[in-house]
Amino acid sequence: MRRHPILQMFAIGVVAAAVITALALAIDWFPPAASTAADKIDTLYDVVILCSIPIFVLVMTIAIYSVVKFRARPGHEGDGAPLHGNTQLELLWVAIPFVIVSALAAYALVVLSDIEAKEPDALPVAVTAQQFTWTFGYPQAGGATSTELVLPRGRQAVLRIRTRDVIHSFWVPAMRMKQDAVPGLTTEVRITPTREGTYPLVCAELCGAGHATMRQTVRVVAPERFQAWLRRLGGGATASRGATPGAASAVETASASGRS
């Protein structure tokens, strides 16, 4: 006895959705987590996978199955069955996506406000992007700069990002945080590193011929080692001050008056 084609179609769709969703959840999409935001963002991704992949697979199964199974047979030249709108069905397929998308937006908003929450003792770092390099200025070291972003473990850093030329994008995949550098604006991103180690920092916005080479590192160290590093950087700043006297003294004045 032949199974009903619609039932067969849904059975294939449900099995395919289950297999592909399980595969998508099993894949490690991101490098090991190195910030407080990482777990929250990974969970958000899993929820989005759970909501979107089954629907996508089910819709594609119905489309492909219908094309194969219900195609016009050779010699069949008659009209199809006359179809009119179905108000109930249309209301349903507008209402269900509306509820799903609204719920996801609300959840994402909660995660966003959570990972962007300000902490009072955040460490300020001035990030400067330019074709094709990143520079990191530390107000607490007299405005001295480094080509490596060094951060203490367990303390929130507030990175104020500016660009000297075009749009760039500051991205540390291990910390899951990304923020654009936009000409004329100072953008901000807050990161609380949780694990010591060295992580890639990449530019995530096509910014010119050397874009692919705009990669540096973030090094997360213990708080004591960070303070020692900061002192060394500040000590070495005297030598580099001659190069950019205006910039260095402006930062120094700011950090002297607002030292935390």
- CA atoms 204, 56, 21, 37: torsion sign: positive
Go through 137-152 and write b for each residue having 16 or more CB atoms within 10 A of its CB, e for each that does not. bbbbbbbbbbeebbbb
Go through 45-84 and write b for each residue having 16 or more CB atoms within 10 A of its CB, e for each that does not. eeeebebebbeebbeebeeebeeeeeeeeeeeeeeeeeee
Q: Is 161 in the site for Cu ion (CB under 5 A)?
A: no
Give the one residue of 144, 177, 189, 203 binding Cu ion; rule: CB under 5 A: 203
Q: Is 175 in the site for Cu ion (CB under 5 A)?
A: no
Q: Is 176 in the site for Cu ion (CB under 5 A)?
A: no
Q: Is the peptide bond before 132 cis (omega within 30 degrees of 0)?
A: yes
Which of 157/205 has CB closer to Cu ion? 205
* Least distance in angstroms from the C-beta of 129 to Cu ion: 8
Using CB under 5 A, which of the segments 156-164, 165-173, 190-198, 225-233 binds Cu ion?
Answer: 165-173
**Site mask for Cu ion (CB under 5 A), range 206-235, x = bound:** -x---x--x---------------------
Q: Is 201 in the site for Cu ion (CB under 5 A)?
A: no
Please state, in angstroms and rounded to a whole number, the distance separating the CA atoms of residues 170 and 164. Answer: 14
For residues 194 and 34, is the Cβ–Cβ distance under 8 A?
Answer: yes
Q: Is 181 in the site for Cu ion (CB under 5 A)?
A: no
Full strand arrangement of the beta sheet holding 133-138: 144-146, 133-138, 123-130, 157-163, 187-191
Which of 163/255 has CB closer to Cu ion? 163
For residues 197 and 190, is the Cβ–Cβ distance under 8 A?
Answer: no
* Least distance in angstroms from the C-beta of 213 to Cu ion: 9
* Least distance in angstroms from the C-beta of 220 to Cu ion: 23
* Least distance in angstroms from the C-beta of 112 to Cu ion: 24
Which of 160/211 has CB closer to Cu ion? 211
Using CB under 5 A, which of the segments 107-115, 196-204, 223-231, 238-246 binds Cu ion?
Answer: 196-204
Please state, in angstroms and rounded to a whole number, the distance separating the CA atoms of residues 140 and 86. Answer: 67
* Least distance in angstroms from the C-beta of 164 to Cu ion: 13
Q: Which two tokens stand for residue 195?
A: 């694990």
* Contact footprint for Cu ion (CB under 5 A): 168, 203, 207, 211, 214
